Structure 1
Amino acid sequence: MNHNIVILGSQWGDEGKGKVVDFLTDKADAVVRFQGGHNAGHTLVIKGEVTKLRLIPSGILHEGVQSFIGNGVVVSLDALSIEMNELLERGVPVFERLSLSEACPVVLPIHVAIDEVREEALGDQKIGTTKRGIGPAYEDKIARRAIRIGDLAHPEKLKAKLKVLLDLHNFTLKNYYRSHLQFDLEETYLKLLNHAKTILPMVCDVSAKLNDIRKNKGKIIFEGAQGTLLDIDHGTYPFVTSSNTISGTVASGAGFGPCYIDAVVGITKVYTTRVGSGAYPTELFDEIGEHLGKKGCEFGTVTGRKRRTGWLDLVALRRAIEINSITSICLTKLDVLDGLKELKVCVAYELDGKEVHYPPYDNADYMRCKPVYKTFIGWSQETFNQTEYEKLPKAAHDYISFIEEFLDVPVDIISTGPERNQNVIVKSIF
């Protein structure tokens, strides 16, 4: 029996992780975010009601389930406050269900300003960030000058640390980026103290709490943000996010040892999308790409940006399987392929006349990769809302079976719609 599972994106994000986490939370005792920030958006649809979460784990809607924000997450207190208030207005008892680590770095307004001017300065070479200040906040963490949640409990220490940080970034804004933006110490300090009244009662030792749950045989879901191919080390650098998005980050981002993890579920869209710049060999610019984007509602939860769309890339997916030690796959948006006469799956790349079976780490090389496709017959039968595997069309069976055989990983769940219970359960995850 699996007790502690990691659920993460195996592509460039936007695979439908939130829905799957929410669905599986019925059997969980806790759900944990362990990396990223409010640049990650998870959309849940329950009985027609849409909930968009950015920082708070997708398990927050479940009674009796604890939600944790681990130390690996960078937290915008403004964004967290807005999100909490949205849930409170709907009657969700956030203060009873949510806790966060005192070691979480804080995303400040000055981080947002730096993110914005930096992207503008890059011009055509921009990364395509959400401009939420995530990257600069992680930079301060690594440079050991970050303001952390725990600092809010020590006003004098907080003000001294904040002065050092603001002096540096104000100087950078003025003298390097020639920006008129400057951030006042007293104003920023008072805003943090105001947030402290709400936040500090929610602070706990997340690592200790999670290990208590583990020792008592409880079930924990670790909810990844973004996707594997946006990982700062293993993604399409520099067009990546600023955190490690892979399963190994659970250990550092939540204080939960890797040997305690029982399963890693890779959420995988039946086609591929990405937002922002960077290599994307299977990207489509034709009517098929338009179909995938329109039928799949491919717009960012956080930014509303239109996503790039393309065929399923098994070369990139193989990398994700291996570096995450993915034990099973959840295929999402199968119904989006309904009605297509022909489907293609990328099984290799061609680079400089040679066949390549792993994505290059160098983005320039990756940009030159051309997809080698295997073609499948599509299906006309509707799979939307289907919950029985046997009732899926034979062409869908063939498509799914090929994915399993190519990657040597089973497909345990198939999502056939945005609602919580629109799934084919091949095998129980818990």
Structure 2
Amino acid sequence: MTCNILVGGSWGDEGKGKCITYLCYKDQPDIIARAGVGPNAGHSVEFHGDKYGLRMIPSGFVYTGARLLIGAGVLVDPEVFHYELDYLNKYQVKGRTFADLRCSIIEPKHKEQDKANEYLAKKIGSTGTGCGPGNRDRVMRVAKQARDWESMEGFTADVPLEVNTALDEGKDVFIEGSQGYGLSLYYGTYPFVTSKDTTASTAAADIGVGPTRIDEVMVVFKSYTTRVGEGPFPTEIKQEEAESRGLEEYGTVTGRRRRVGEFDMEFARESCMINGATQIALTCVDRIYPACERVKDYADLSGEVKRFVEDIQDATGVPVTIIGTGPDMEDTIDLRDELL
């Protein structure tokens, strides 16, 4: 039995979708559960040449033997939820995808309020998906729950009961977070943050799993840093430089251009500390060191790449066990066995 959590180490966009796809396809957990805020966070998945952008359904959907669950702490937009059920029909997600019956519902009014709020839309850089107003109504105890929402009938479950029963039976559970540490309402670059905490502790609470049941916490970092929207960014570089280095990116949900910066060792150290990281996944190494594109063996990496990995380990005190060398799931160096 294992219960592992994966969360973002920066401001989102770290490549969590690719890591989740790889880990779930390789390890084949019995349950894959999504934690996090809600549909304001997009995960990109590239699998066998096909690309998918997801906002609600767990990114580990590619492993068709797993139950796909959405924890009670996650806001559910029924429109997005049902769209993605149809969108991923190829992977038989209907019949194995369920939201916790206590999930709060994002109603059309929440999205309208989000977009109409000048402070959220212009100063903070909200995605406009209704999550802030949805969480406000949850805190005020007036939000609708999935068990009371007509279109969610037949698509709900008691997620904590199901997950903890699975663990009692010796099954494996994988919890995937969304967004990243820097957007945490508590620990991020406030006020330029999201509407709740995004760390591993809250990811466990979102699913209804106690801290004593967690085995591993994997924090994902990109080999350079990006963020969408406003807020502090100490290592930011000019867009012209980002373009010249081939690091131009756009957000999965909003399509907004991402700001780009160098890897921040101090920020990574703090992120690992507060998340209680036991492992690090490092993605997009090939974007910084093109010569290592699609390399699958650590021994074949250049000395420069290895020194970068070692510097991260020295700064954080956490081993780098997954290294992404390309966009596809198979472009991965897996060093987890070396921890055994």
TM-score normalized with structure 2 length: 0.95
Deviation at 1:406, TM superposition (A): 1.5
Q: What is the aligned counterpart of 2:298 among 386, 389, 392? A: 389
Deviation at 1:61, TM superposition (A): 2.3
Match in the other structure for 2:10: 11
Provide the rounded CA distance (Å) in 1 between the counterparts of 2:195 and 2:22: 28
Match in the other structure for 2:262: 311
Match in the other structure for 1:273: 226
Q: Is the 8 A contact 2:175 2:204 kept in 1?
A: no
Deviation at 1:78, TM superposition (A): 1.1
* Residue identity matched to 2:316: L
Single out whichever of 312-321 and 101-110 deviates more from structure 2.
312-321
Query: Is residue 2:62 matched to residue 1:67?
Result: no
Please list the CA deviations of residues 352-398 of structure 1 after superposition, one character each: whole Å capped at 9, or x if unmatched.
Answer: xxxxxxxxxxxxxxxxxxxxxxxxxxxxxx11100010110111111
Name the SS of the counterpart of 2:194 in structure 1. coil
* Residue identity matched to 1:302: V
Query: Is residue 2:238 matched to residue 1:285?
Result: yes
Provide the rounded CA distance (Å) in 1 between the counterparts of 2:73 and 2:56: 12
Query: Is residue 2:56 matched to residue 1:103?
Result: no
Match in the other structure for 2:277: 326
Provide the rounded CA distance (Å) in 2 between the counterparts of 1:121 and 1:248: 29
Q: How does 1:159-238 map to 2 (within 5 A)?
A: 193=150, 195=151, 199-238=152-191
Provide the rounded CA distance (Å) in 2 between the counterparts of 1:384 and 1:123: 38
Single out whichever of 19-28 and 257-266 deviates more from structure 2.
19-28
What is the percent sequence identity of the aligned residues? 35
* Residue identity matched to 1:216: E
Match in the other structure for 2:141: 144
Deviation at 1:421, TM superposition (A): 1.0
Q: Is the 8 A contact 1:296 1:333 kept in 2?
A: no
Higher Cα Rg: structure 1 or 2? 1
Deviation at 1:247, TM superposition (A): 0.6
Provide the rounded CA distance (Å) in 1 between the counterparts of 2:44 and 2:204: 26
Single out whichever of 298-307 and 243-252 deviates more from structure 2.
243-252
Provide the rounded CA distance (Å) in 1 between the counterparts of 2:194 and 2:253: 14
Match in the other structure for 1:399: 308
Higher relative contact order (CA 8 A, sep 6+): 2
Deviation at 1:289, TM superposition (A): 2.1
Deviation at 1:304, TM superposition (A): 1.1
Match in the other structure for 2:286: 335
Provide the rounded CA distance (Å) in 2 between the counterparts of 1:388 and 1:123: 44
Deviation at 1:399, TM superposition (A): 1.2
Match in the other structure for 1:82: 83
Provide the rounded CA distance (Å) in 2 between the counterparts of 1:114 and 1:286: 32
Provide the rounded CA distance (Å) in 1 between the counterparts of 2:197 and 2:257: 24
Deviation at 1:62, TM superposition (A): 1.6
Please list the CA deviations of residues 265-293 of structure 1 after superposition, one character each: whole Å capped at 9, or x if unmatched.
Answer: 0111011100000000100016432245x
Name the SS of the counterpart of 2:315 in structure 1. helix
* Residue identity matched to 1:312: F
Provide the rounded CA distance (Å) in 2 between the counterparts of 1:296 and 1:29: 36
Provide the rounded CA distance (Å) in 1 between the counterparts of 2:192 and 2:63: 35
Please list the CA deviations of residues 100-154 of structure 1 after superposition, one character each: whole Å capped at 9, or x if unmatched.
Answer: 1010000011001111111x35686x100100100000000011111111123xx
* Residue identity matched to 1:391: D
Match in the other structure for 1:368: none
Name the SS of the counterpart of 1:95 in structure 2. coil
Q: What is the aligned counterpart of 1:424 among 326, 333, 337? A: 333
Name the SS of the counterpart of 2:253 in structure 1. coil
Provide the rounded CA distance (Å) in 2 between the counterparts of 1:416 and 1:121: 39
Go from structure 1 to structure 2 and tell me whether the alpha carbon gap of 1:267 and 1:110 turns closer, same or farther (over 3 Å shift). same
Name the SS of the counterpart of 1:331 in structure 2. strand
Query: Is residue 2:192 matched to residue 1:239?
Result: yes
Q: Is the 8 A contact 2:114 2:121 kept in 1?
A: no
Match in the other structure for 1:92: 91
Provide the rounded CA distance (Å) in 1 between the counterparts of 2:266 and 2:113: 35
Report the RMSD for the aligned CA atoms in angstroms: 1.6
Match in the other structure for 1:415: 324
Name the SS of the counterpart of 1:413 in structure 2. strand
